[in-house]
Structure 1
Amino acid sequence: MTFCVIGLGRFGSQLAKALLDEGFEVIVIDKDDERVSEFSEKASGALILDATDEKALKEAGISEVDCCVVSVGQKIDASILIVMHLKTLGVKEVVVKAVDELHAEILKRIGADKVILPEKETAVRLAKTYRSKRFFEVLEVNPEYTIVETSAPNRFANKTLKELRLREDYGITVILIKRKSPYLNEKGLPVMKEEIIVSPKGEDFIFENDILIILGKEKDLERLLKE
């Protein structure tokens, strides 16, 4: 899958680096030659051009990429114009970083496939994390389902997943169990080793101090951990 990142500010540059680290082909575009030069060796293409120029985008072959992410900071008019050009050129998926809700609504109306508000999404995620002291980390999969990392409630200790009936009674799935177990190292000294059980089965036990990664609807997760 090939990505194009337009705008190499703080968000755009971090996204481009993350995509490259994941092994994707990435083309980066910015008017600032210093920002572009940072990616000259790693990116599939590092282009210095004005993305508001439709002809320049066309000549750069942007229509061939699978997904284009537009992150041009506070330049609302520029982002709108770039999205219009990308849609005209037939880019398969256009993702845009918006400044605020009004900007996001405009971008959606002109054809952006996905609009992100990083500050808002980070704030909402943090608020959800603190809403329940049991939740260490929260990841919203979609508006209905959420993945949370939480310590196992005391009543789970020394019971199997089958005995707990989490899926049957709560519609919740445990997708990973993390625990620390003591063992002797090469020098014969006791140390703690982390054990990870991915996709645990019904006969797997939950022990005291286990950390669970669970998937479910928000209301069901809250109900489970409040009981």
Structure 2
Amino acid sequence: MPSAPRSFAVIGLGTFGTTVARELARIGNEVIGIDIEERNVSAVADHISYAVIADARDEAALREAGVGDCDVALIAIGEDLEANVLATINTKMVGVETIWAKAINRTHHRILSKLGAERVILPEEEVGLHVAQVLHNPRMRNYLSMGNGFHVVNFLVPEQLGGKRLSELRLRDKFGVRSLGVMRGTDFLGTEADDPQLKVEDKLMLLGRRNDLRDFAASL
């Protein structure tokens, strides 16, 4: 069931902020985009609900833009550390309850966390980790960190597993990994309880700790 539309303020309309703003708007949310540069605002104006030239270091400017009425704010300002920090403080001051913020390094991450950002993002680091995991194992198509050391990954089923039942892999017994299901194209085939027969290039969705998932991948 799709989530109900919400209102978002995206502050900083560089590549990262613009991508987030446009995608949020595309899937049906109200999005206010804010940047100090006219060219950045103009580039996204036709794709989101409202785009405004404003300096996020100015609390009054954020109030006037309607940021305080938004459910969530994303501080996507890049290299200007001062502007990023002040935008985070001002967004909190105007009454936004949920704030996500982009950090440029670990020290910046700690500062934003102390200022009350609910989630702090290190985009280059997170993408880099993702790319490294996929490069390391070409059968891995995607992965998602679930916290507490657990990850969800999907693997393309190789030739040696083609024709086997999911139960034959004994994922829990041998690797401590749980199957969440099997995708064949756009069809969901089910979990171990349904015990589907695997075909080459099916996507096997697994939940487990990194080392256990690595052991399973090494066995293929």
Does TM, normalized by the shorter one, top 0.5? yes
* Matched letter for residue 219 of structure 1: N
Q: 1:65 aligns with which of 51, 70, 78?
A: 70
User: In the alignment, is residue 15 of structure 1 matched against residue 20 of structure 2?
Assistant: yes
User: In the alignment, is residue 39 of structure 1 matched against residue 31 of structure 2?
Assistant: no
1:77-92 aligned within 5 A: 77-92=82-97
Runs of 4 or more off by more than 4 Å in structure 1? none
SS of the residue aligned with 1:16? Answer: helix
Instruction: Find the aligned partners of 1:35 and 1:131 in 2 and give their Cα distance.
Output: 37
Instruction: Find the aligned partners of 2:169 and 2:50 in 1 and give their Cα distance.
Output: 53
Q: 1:197 aligns with which of 188, 198, 207?
A: 188
Q: CA deviation at 1:5?
A: 0.4
Instruction: Find the aligned partners of 1:163 and 1:222 in 2 and give their Cα distance.
Output: 19
Q: 1:144 aligns with which of 139, 142, 149?
A: 149
* Matched letter for residue 181 of structure 2: I
Q: Which has the higher strand share?
A: 1
> 2:179 matched to which residue of 1?
173
Q: CA deviation at 1:154?
A: 4.8
Q: Which has the higher helix share?
A: 2
Q: CA deviation at 1:224?
A: 2.1
Gaps of 5+ in 1: 179-193
Instruction: Find the aligned partners of 1:52 and 1:166 in 2 and give their Cα distance.
Output: 52
User: In the alignment, is residue 52 of structure 1 matched against residue 57 of structure 2?
Assistant: yes
Worse-superposed segment, 120-129 or 144-153: 144-153
Report which of the two structures shows the higher radius of gyration computed on alpha carbons: 1
SS of the residue aligned with 1:207? Answer: coil
Instruction: Find the aligned partners of 1:142 and 1:128 in 2 and give their Cα distance.
Output: 16
> 2:116 matched to which residue of 1?
111
Identity of aligned residues (%): 32
Instruction: Find the aligned partners of 2:85 and 2:142 in 1 and give their Cα distance.
Output: 34
> 2:211 matched to which residue of 1?
219
Gaps of 5+ in 2: 1-5
Normalised by the length of structure 2, the TM-score is 0.85
Q: CA deviation at 1:209?
A: 4.1
Q: How many residues align?
A: 212
Normalised by the length of structure 1, the TM-score is 0.83
Superposition RMSD on alpha carbons, in Å? Answer: 2.2
